């Protein structure tokens, strides 16, 4: 889990290495609990306006190993808001006071 400040849609993103089965960052296969490969059109964890530039990106992630191998599975994820719920000023704002949206997951450990 973490703020990688790297969008999977960017070329040479470190996230590509993290989720790759043969990645240089992690030699084990990891998957995101959120659908990021390919990302859904409405998923974002930050949406900022900086001067004339607006950036809507996925830069926060929660990764896990395959549940069949490691004995746990993701059972729930925290929904991120829809675009329609955002203020015109984007993030941060009064409703979401951080420049990152909260993400979260619940896991169940299986008995082995």
Quick: pLDDT tens for 26-54: 566 778 899 888 888 789 999 999 999 99
Averaged pLDDT, 58-75 = 80
Q: Is the confidence at residue 91, as pLDDT, over 90?
A: yes
Distance of CA 101 to the CA centre of its chain: 10
pLDDT at 7: 86
> CB–CB of 55/15 below 8 Å?
no
From residue 19, how far is each of 28, 40, 57, 71, 76 by CA, in Å?
Answer: 8, 17, 18, 19, 20
> CB–CB of 2/56 below 8 Å?
no
13 pLDDT band, cuts 50/70/90, is confident
73 pLDDT band, cuts 50/70/90, is confident
67 pLDDT band, cuts 50/70/90, is low
Q: Which DSSP string do the residues of 88-103 spell out, in sequence order? A: TT-SS-SSS-SSS---
Largest distance between two CA atoms of the chain: 54
Rounded to 5 degrees, what angle do the CA atoms 87, 11, 66 make?
Answer: 85
Q: Is the confidence at residue 22, as pLDDT, over 60?
A: no
Averaged pLDDT, 6-35 = 74
Percent of the chain having pLDDT more than 70? 83
């Amino acid at each position: 889990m973490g703020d990688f400040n790297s969008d999977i849609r960017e070329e040479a993103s470190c996230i590509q290495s993290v989720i790759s089965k043969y990645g240089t960052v992690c030699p084990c296969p990891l998957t995101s609990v959120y659908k990021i490969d390919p990302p859904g059109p409405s998923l974002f964890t930050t949406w900022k306006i900086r001067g004339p530039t607006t950036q809507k990106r996925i830069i926060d992630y929660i990764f896990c190993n395959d549940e069949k191998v490691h004995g746990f599975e993701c059972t729930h994820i925290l929904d991120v808001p829809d675009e329609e719920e955002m203020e015109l000023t984007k993030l941060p704002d009064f409703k979401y006071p951080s420049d990152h949206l909260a993400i979260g997951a619940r896991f169940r450990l299986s008995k082995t």
